[in-house]
Structure 1
Amino acid sequence: MTQPGDVMIGVLLPLHLGQSYQKVLFKEKPPRPECTMFHFESFQQLQALRFALHEINKNGILPNITLGFQAYDSCALLRYDLEGALQMLTGLDRHIPNYRCLTDAPLSSIIGSAISTHSVLLASILGIYNFPQISQFSTSAILSDHIRFPSFFRTVPSDVFQSKGLAHLVVHLRWTWVGLVASDNDYGQLGIQLLQQEIVKAGACVAFNEKILTSSPDRNAPHIVKIIKTSTAKVVVLYATGFDTVPVLNEMAKQNVTGKILVASEGWSTSTLASLGKFSVFLSGTIGLAIQSGTIPELKQFLNTINPSMSLGRAWIKIFWELAFNCRFISDKNETGSLDTNVKECTGSENLENLQNAYKDVSNLRSTYSVYTAVLVVANALRDMNNCKKGEGPFSKRLCADIKGFQPWQFMYYLKKVRFKLNSGREVYFDKNGDPPAVYDIVNWQLSPSGNMRYVKVGSFDMTAPPGNIFTMNTSSIQWNSGENEVPISACSQSCPPGSWKAARRGEPVCCYDCVPCPQGEISNQTGKLIIIIIIIIYS
């Protein structure tokens, strides 16, 4: 999907979140993966990007310069993210390494990928050319290495901070016995390692640590859920994306797992995929960290302007239209591959105003706001570059960059120094590692009277706040799935009563112990406290 402009922005979005698994016999060329599961939230992000560019071009931030974009559906597949990035660099519908075929409109940057593992690969390639990459959702801590990835930036915090925040959450609620489940990729494994270190450092213990196998159709869910079900840990931290959590949640429903509290990483803490009605029984009470939300004035009205008759992105709009209105464009080939032949015909005049789904929901913008922020970052850096005064430039011989013919490394200079405020008053800038300020919302999943799941903010983890206010949480506003107001207990062993002491169990973590009556001459008069040993020595 391409909208022309004097300066271009590339964007990689997973408009589809799955692929069909096909058997490969190695007797012929392997087929291209077929994309499945069209994602309404990603489609909303694409429209938010269009809206941001519309506002920038209309308001004249860049006088006599229009911003255009080229968008590519990565289908959440590594090969498509790479293919899309290389096509954007080339400027054609095919990629020719080391060549830029469209010289009339410079490509300023690429926004993407949304997946950390994919961003690592892209950043390794784009860094060779010092070509700017701004990710809207890749949070892996490894990407903060600006020596390995010199041209990588992001509008979401690093998982270094998220892991600290989740550990703060666990310790604050006095959970000492927790299970860990994470995707087997850079995002999940690096994040869960940092989290485990923080939890152990705080004196809590890990009951188990299991991997979601992203290369397996069932994601290893039957084994993972069996461990969750049989473990004495009441709290499970799930460090994964929304797409990877769904098989685990399906299996939990299948095995009828109850009485567990899930702690969500930002990858799925506000995911509409995971909040489906069939999961509400055991997901109510879930608590976790989420990317700070924001508002985009007039976005809702803009979302209503799309129509299947539009030439820009028509194929994607038709897929969205068929799924949103449960109809089919009879005159066209069915794009979704999921509707039967008995559905009604799409007319194209269906009313978007009355539609209620993830695409239309602008009440709690998080990943969409991150994409929107990334576009504003590019626009503000371009404005700073365009405002350079002749003879006062930052480059050799005091030269300025030409806004209609700059080099990627020249734009990098301005990206590193960009600083502006959003309409919320929040300041946007990058540190020396290309990371923004770390601010998270703490959200609690609560069922509304109508049966819908709500993500209620109950606190925040803000690394920019004064030392005493970095972690704040209103525990009384949390709704637990047990229906009780008290914070549930998750401990390997209960506190020992007065008159007994903790005897460690051989081969088990320090949080697991037996309560043994105190021997003669030893006194313990407080619950769960250290033993006071009185030794009487009689001299002869």
Structure 2
Amino acid sequence: MNQSKVMRAFLENTLLSLMLYSCFSSDVSSLYSSSCQLQEQFHLNGMHKTGDVILGGLFAINFFSDDLSLTFTSKPQLPPCYGFDVRGFRQAQSMAFAIDEINNKSSLLPNVTLGYSLYDNCFQLGIGFRAALSLVSGQEEQVTLEENCVGTPPVLGIVGDTTSSNSIAISTVLGLYRVPLVSYFATCSCLTDRHKFPSFFRTIPSDAFQVNAMIQILKHFDWTWTGLIISDDDYGVHAARSFHSDLGPAGGGCLAYTEILPWGDDPAEVRRIVDVMRKSTARVVIVFAHKSRTINFMKEVVRQKVTGLQWIASEAWSSAAVLQTPHFMPYLGGTLGISIRRGEIPGLRDFLLQTRPDLHHNNTDGKSMVNQFWEHTFQCRFAPPPAGWVEAGGELCTGQEVIENVENELVDVSNLRPEYNVYKAVYTLAYALDDMLQCEPGRGPFSNNTCAHLQRLEPWQLVYYLEKVNFTTTFGDQVSFDDNGDALPIYDIMNWVWLPDGKTKVQRVGEVKRSAFKGEELTLDEDTIFWNFESKLPPRSVCSESCPPGTRMARKKGEPECCFDCVPCSEGKISNTTDSMDCTSCSEDFWSSPQRDHCVPKKTEFLSYHEPLGICLTTTSLLGTFICVVVLGIFIHHHSTPIVRANNSELSFLLLVSLKLCFLCSLLFIGRPKLWTCQLRHAAFGISFVLCVSCILVKTMVVLAVFRASKPGGESSLKWFGAVQQRGTVLVLTSVQAAICTAWLVSSSPVPHKNTHYHSDKIVYECAVGSTVGFAVLLGYIGLLAVLSCLLAFLARNLPDSFNEAKLITFSMLIFCAVWVAFVPAYINSPGKYADAVEVFAILASSFGLLVALFGPKCYIILFRPERNTKKAIMGRGTTK
């Protein structure tokens, strides 16, 4: 039930079971002769032993009780209990054994005898609450109050209760008086609230750690898509909260579906839940519910034949024998369950074998737990009948019966789990009491450094020492409490094995615990785990498969966090881990691999000697250079012929040399740019072309001067165009370009540059021009000389010579200008290495244009028409056309 139901039941039973004392004074003026009488005395099933200090215990000995109607027309009676539980009785006997063992030890509580009062709660809050009030108030019918109150309370501490709901209600009241309650079975994480339950302790881990243990298993097997089914009581509701808070992105998983089993186990609701589970893609299902709820639920699972699931059982049903049958195992085989730590208690079995009935027990004040056991085991009754009388329904117990002769669960100590927690709880109270009694006077923890005294022990004093308890059991487990009253948690992990012969067994395959120094530890022996699948391997339970390297997770809108799509990383970004949330960008010089899982160096691009374009341009450049050398050789060989000597052969030789330099400078644009090549390429290009165009310009001016000198009165113009003046003019014009290049290189020199704007995945190596103005002035100066040469040659195009060189110059300049005019837009719009290729092409095209236009006809006449290589032919005095 949820907390509201717990509190409602708590209030109802409190009104019924509140123990009131009414004080009657024989003399009102007498202050010290008053007495208190118990208003109500509950006849509870119990077991008692006297001692200097009494410890209380609450155990579930009977399964059921009848709820009596509250008419208030007669005195309310205690509901009768029935259905004897041998395991509950064994737990009570474990407490009795622990107290006897402590009393026999000289090292623990010397000179102090522990006693006990153990009561049956019948699994009912009302009865358990009555028992708790009886323990803290006592059962004496009348108590006389003396002037100086002496003696200890009826009990100093209580071991119990069996359920979280009962413990919440009982501890709420006991906490008001700081009476310690040490539970061995209450696991609700809500009990860790120290403000609500200041005196509550437990030796069983809380559900929060049980949830954490399950999450550890989920993480171990990479189960990120999990179904959760809970019961709608404190046990399930608080577990669901823990799951939702702990199982998320940080925890590496999420819940596929969370369903609450209705309190009444409505069959229609259970069918709906199983149907949702059957349709889900989750292959792992956690059931956090009590055994009775789980049994009803699993019946529906079998009816709908839901197979192929990996079940994870909470502690409440992880050892449920009723589910470990051939009927259920095809569906539940391989279940992994969280179970209470199994311990060993040496000597317990011998103690249990010595259990004997109390033949003198008064049946009117509640039935003895021991006698109930004997009646249940031997089917006999205890009563004071006449000698030889046999009661209907069974013989009388004589006390001579032998337990060993009857098969029963009492003496089976092979699987001590709750009993081990009871054993630790008793020793916890004993060690706290021992520490309290060893206090040195004047050095105590209480007011004025006082200590507690055996004659006046107070429960709240014991709470102080319980918080500091730290001991190790004979089984090797350390027992101490944190600030919330929880002991160091440890759970066994169980596995349901379905054997080939149809039999079943539950085996321990690991443990999960939290130590004071190492934190949480999960230990699993995977080789021994039985998996109820054809592959005999752990199932895979994910909403979405893991995103491989090279992708990132993109959550699906409206679905849990573990449901996502795997989106490939965009270009230039990578993810080198599985299930990456984001893609990271590569550094500037790197680019993403095709798989997007690592960065690789970017491809470098420049006009290389090894690629076809570079090879073609290099070959063309060398071819042009070779042709220049050949033409120069021809002219040198025929230097004395009229056609070579015409119009200053020296300028022709210089022009061929400059053209050869033009062809060669184009090689500086090919290959990986370096600082010296970037600085040299444009300077060499600019100076070579200015030298070439200067020669052409001077030749054109000489042609015009000669033409003018042939006219009357024009002889004086030739004195300005002698050989010295021609050389000087070429030198001056070339020097201007050299000055421009020097200023450019000094002010803002071209440098190698890695350009990543053209292609994201490539590095384009190019020469940044540095100063755009310098580059423009360099080209502009060449263009100015070329245009001037073209204009002068155009003016001399109609000279009367049969071989008019002005026409050749005009034609060559037209080619030159056309090439470089087309170069500018082509260069600007060509990315990367193609810009260099365009510039090289312009250099080669203009150089070939000049070479062919200026020297092609002359070489033709020299080699193939030598008859025209005469002065008469040149002067137009030979044959006419």
Judge which range, 45-54 or 235-244, deviates more: 235-244
Q: Alpha-carbon deviation of 1:387?
A: 2.1
Q: Alpha-carbon deviation of 1:194?
A: 1.0
Q: Does 1:40 align with 2:63?
A: no
Whole-angstrom CA distance in 2 between matches of 1:102 and 1:219: 61
Counterpart of 1:479 in structure 2 is 530
**Which of 112, 120, 127 in structure 2 is aligned with 1:65?**
112
Counterpart of 1:156 in structure 2 is 204
**Which of 335, 345, 370 in structure 2 is aligned with 1:296?**
345
Counterpart of 2:131 in structure 1 is 84
The answer to whether the 8 Å contact 2:490/2:512 transfers is yes
Cα deviations across residues 4-58 of structure 1 (Å, max 9, x unaligned)?
2221111111223445689x79898998665455333222111111111111122
SS at structure 2 position matched to 1:444? strand
Alignment of 1:334-345 (within 5 A): none
Judge which range, 371-380 or 252-261, deviates more: 252-261
Q: Does 1:141 align with 2:189?
A: yes
Cα deviations across residues 373-407 of structure 1 (Å, max 9, x unaligned)?
10111111112222223343332333322223311
SS at structure 2 position matched to 1:248? helix
RMSD: 4.3
SS at structure 2 position matched to 1:459? strand
Counterpart of 2:415 in structure 1 is 364
Alignment of 1:97-136 (within 5 A): 106-136=154-184
Judge which range, 228-237 or 86-95, deviates more: 86-95
Q: Alpha-carbon deviation of 1:114?
A: 2.1
The answer to whether the 8 Å contact 1:446/1:455 transfers is yes
Q: Alpha-carbon deviation of 1:182?
A: 1.6
Whole-angstrom CA distance in 2 between matches of 1:95 and 1:483: 71
Counterpart of 1:336 in structure 2 is none
**Which of 370, 376, 386 in structure 1 is aligned with 2:427?**
376
Alignment of 1:439-450 (within 5 A): 439-447=490-498
Q: 1:399 to 1:104 in 2, by over 3 A?
A: closer
Cα deviations across residues 459-485 of structure 1 (Å, max 9, x unaligned)?
222221765971222222100223643
Q: 1:495 to 1:419 in 2, by over 3 A?
A: closer
Q: Alpha-carbon deviation of 1:211?
A: 1.9
Q: 1:343 to 1:492 in 2, by over 3 A?
A: farther
Q: Alpha-carbon deviation of 1:147?
A: 2.3
Q: 1:353 to 1:274 in 2, by over 3 A?
A: farther
Judge which range, 217-226 or 79-88, deviates more: 217-226
Q: Alpha-carbon deviation of 1:222?
A: 4.4
Judge which range, 425-434 or 355-364, deviates more: 355-364
Report the AA paired with residue 91 of structure 2: Q
Q: Does 1:173 align with 2:260?
A: no
The answer to whether the 8 Å contact 1:87/1:95 transfers is no
SS at structure 2 position matched to 1:70? strand
Whole-angstrom CA distance in 2 between matches of 1:462 and 1:265: 16
SS at structure 1 position matched to 2:287? strand
Whole-angstrom CA distance in 2 between matches of 1:359 and 1:52: 16
Report the AA paired with residue 16 of structure 1: N
Whole-angstrom CA distance in 2 between matches of 1:396 and 1:525: 64
The answer to whether the 8 Å contact 1:105/1:404 transfers is no
Q: Alpha-carbon deviation of 1:291?
A: 2.5
Q: Alpha-carbon deviation of 1:270?
A: 3.1
Structure with the higher fraction of residues in helix conformation: 2
Whole-angstrom CA distance in 1 between matches of 2:142 and 2:541: 53
Whole-angstrom CA distance in 1 between matches of 2:197 and 2:189: 12
Whole-angstrom CA distance in 1 between matches of 2:294 and 2:531: 20
Q: Alpha-carbon deviation of 1:297?
A: 0.2
Q: Alpha-carbon deviation of 1:489?
A: 2.2
Counterpart of 1:208 in structure 2 is 257
Q: Alpha-carbon deviation of 1:59?
A: 2.4
Structure 1 length as normaliser, TM-score? 0.82
Whole-angstrom CA distance in 1 between matches of 2:562 and 2:105: 60
**Which of 286, 294, 297 in structure 1 is aligned with 2:335?**
286
Report the AA paired with residue 100 of structure 2: H
Whole-angstrom CA distance in 2 between matches of 1:265 and 1:329: 38
Judge which range, 190-199 or 103-112, deviates more: 103-112
**Which of 95, 98, 102 in structure 2 is aligned with 1:56?**
102
Whole-angstrom CA distance in 2 between matches of 1:153 and 1:496: 46
Judge which range, 149-158 or 244-253, deviates more: 244-253
Counterpart of 1:4 in structure 2 is 50
SS at structure 1 position matched to 2:57? strand
**Which of 455, 472, 475 in structure 1 is aligned with 2:506?**
455
Q: Does 1:235 align with 2:284?
A: yes
Q: Alpha-carbon deviation of 1:262?
A: 1.6
Cα deviations across residues 300-324 of structure 1 (Å, max 9, x unaligned)?
1222222445667965445445555
The answer to whether the 8 Å contact 1:57/1:66 transfers is yes
**Which of 470, 473, 477 in structure 2 is aligned with 1:426?**
477
Q: Alpha-carbon deviation of 1:134?
A: 0.7
Q: Alpha-carbon deviation of 1:275?
A: 4.3
SS at structure 1 position matched to 2:431? helix
Judge which range, 503-512 or 145-154, deviates more: 503-512
Q: 1:396 to 1:520 in 2, by over 3 A?
A: closer
Q: 1:426 to 1:501 in 2, by over 3 A?
A: closer
Q: Does 1:75 align with 2:122?
A: yes
Whole-angstrom CA distance in 2 between matches of 1:102 and 1:256: 67
The answer to whether the 8 Å contact 2:569/2:575 transfers is no
Counterpart of 1:270 in structure 2 is 319
Cα deviations across residues 151-204 of structure 1 (Å, max 9, x unaligned)?
111112233322222111112112222111122222221122212332223232
The answer to whether the 8 Å contact 1:127/1:149 transfers is yes
**Which of 174, 184, 192 in structure 1 is aligned with 2:240?**
192
Q: Alpha-carbon deviation of 1:509?
A: 2.8
Report the AA paired with residue 90 of structure 2: Q
Q: 1:397 to 1:205 in 2, by over 3 A?
A: closer
Q: 1:210 to 1:38 in 2, by over 3 A?
A: farther
Q: 1:53 to 1:468 in 2, by over 3 A?
A: closer
The answer to whether the 8 Å contact 2:479/2:487 transfers is yes
Whole-angstrom CA distance in 1 between matches of 2:302 and 2:407: 26
Q: Alpha-carbon deviation of 1:252?
A: 3.3
Q: Alpha-carbon deviation of 1:353?
A: 2.8
The answer to whether the 8 Å contact 1:106/1:406 transfers is no
Q: Alpha-carbon deviation of 1:500?
A: 11
Unaligned segments of structure 1, at least 5 residues: 334-340
**Which of 486, 493, 511 in structure 2 is aligned with 1:435?**
486
Report the AA paired with residue 440 of structure 2: K
Q: 1:452 to 1:118 in 2, by over 3 A?
A: farther
Q: Which has the larger radius of gyration?
A: 2
SS at structure 1 position matched to 2:285? strand
Whole-angstrom CA distance in 2 between matches of 1:482 and 1:95: 67
Structure 2 length as normaliser, TM-score? 0.52
Q: Alpha-carbon deviation of 1:232?
A: 3.4
Whole-angstrom CA distance in 2 between matches of 1:492 and 1:317: 55
Higher relative contact order (CA 8 A, sep 6+): 1
The answer to whether the 8 Å contact 2:382/2:396 transfers is no
Judge which range, 70-79 or 255-264, deviates more: 255-264
Whole-angstrom CA distance in 1 between matches of 2:119 and 2:538: 45
Q: Alpha-carbon deviation of 1:216?
A: 5.6
